[in-house]
Amino acid sequence: MTREERNRRPSPAATSPPEQTEPWVNSRFMKACRLEPTDTKPVWLMRQAGRYMKEYRDLRARVPFLELCKSPHLAAEVTVTAAERLGVDAAIMFADLLLIAEPLGFEVEYDQSEGPSVRPALRDAADVKRLREVNAQESLGYLFDAIRLTRAELNPKLPLLGFAGAPFTLASYLIEGGGSRHYRHTKSLMYRDPGAWRALMEHLARNVANSVNGQIAAGVQAVQIFDTWVGCLNPADYREFVLPFTRLLIERITPGVPVIHFGMGTGMLLEAMREAGGHILGLDFHVELDEAWARLERAAGTRVGIQGNLDPAVLFADLSYIRERARKILDQAGGRPGHIFNLGHGILPDTPVDHVVALVDYVHELSHGAHAASREK
């Protein structure tokens, strides 16, 4: 697809809702994705189903992480329980960025404290050649089953989100063999063998797109692309080594389905990430939402949606302070449609659940009618 063709693609705001009006189509979340006004601000929280929640810890005491991801009934239960408990405006399918690593030819182990380990680490062009093509229906069937179950159980007014790792973040896990601090091996491959790097990134973009489209076919209403670790790059490296492949992924996603594009430490990359694609850009907590949004609109020349961006550490503060900080984000977003309230990173372990519930309530309470009021101005 050429640049011109891309520019001619309808923006989400111009996309008409599906013919058969499912109950979620005019939910706050889906309206915000289409940059339409809402009565109250939609809110969901990254890692809303996770270790901070007792129900989840109890389940995990019995079931290892990977088994949980691969058990459709349990994954559906975790997804629905979290969304209902918090009163958020969207559920996100309980799953993991690295589920696709197995069918790509890697062994993945999850250690509660250390994070995932991926073996054998991918280090050179020969390793790239050994990557397998993923038959998503076959190897990720459990995920699609979980989505179907979740969609059936979930309040039909709530949209369900799918997600996947962006090519860079996925590549960094495969190359480093897990999480990393300096991305030394990832950058070494990038700088030393750009040909192998491109082959790897293309392979990942194509296969991740298949997984995302499988999730959409199974019943998710929107997807978030996590380029969690891409903030380790400067803008020039991002444009050369990442942007074309994230764009390739996003362009292959089923048209009409809103895409949220998120990464950590991306304050310097926002304009380039916007160029890579996505209808909504997810902001981390290092940026001021109003400044970031203004920058993006200046750069893009068109309206763009924003998700974010409360610092998850604020949830350890007193309730009155949490309320004040939630209000600040809402004020920064102003009455403009196209803002989805979220944290600027996932909920941290040990976060008090009642503080999380309170945050969701504050967002609803403080934003109720505000949009309507601003529309009348």
Among 37, 105, 177, 235, binds a second copy (CB under 8 A): 235
Site string for a second copy, 245-274 (x = CB under 8 A): --------------------x-xx------
Among the residue ranges 131-139, 160-168, 184-192, 363-371, the one whose residues contact a second copy (CB under 8 A)? 184-192
Active site residues: 47, 51, 60, 96, 173
Compare residues 278 and 312 and give the one whose CB is closer to a second copy: 312
Among the residue ranges 32-40, 130-138, 181-189, 353-361, the one whose residues contact a second copy (CB under 8 A)? 181-189
**Residue 310 CB, nearest approach to a second copy (Å):** 10
288 near a second copy, judged by CB under 8 A: yes
192 near a second copy, judged by CB under 8 A: yes
Interacting residues with a second copy between 289 and 348 (CB under 8 A): 311-314, 316-318, 321, 328, 348
Compare residues 158 and 287 and give the one whose CB is closer to a second copy: 287
Among 94, 144, 173, 183, binds a second copy (CB under 8 A): 183
**Residue 286 CB, nearest approach to a second copy (Å):** 5
177 near a second copy, judged by CB under 8 A: no
Among 134, 171, 216, 287, binds a second copy (CB under 8 A): 287
Among 286, 303, 336, 355, binds a second copy (CB under 8 A): 286
Q: Furthest-apart CA pair in the chain: how many Å? A: 61
**Residue 264 CB, nearest approach to a second copy (Å):** 10
**Which parts of this chain interact with a second copy (CB under 8 A)?**
182-184, 187-188, 191-192, 231-237, 265, 267-268, 285-288, 311-314, 316-318, 321, 328, 348, 350
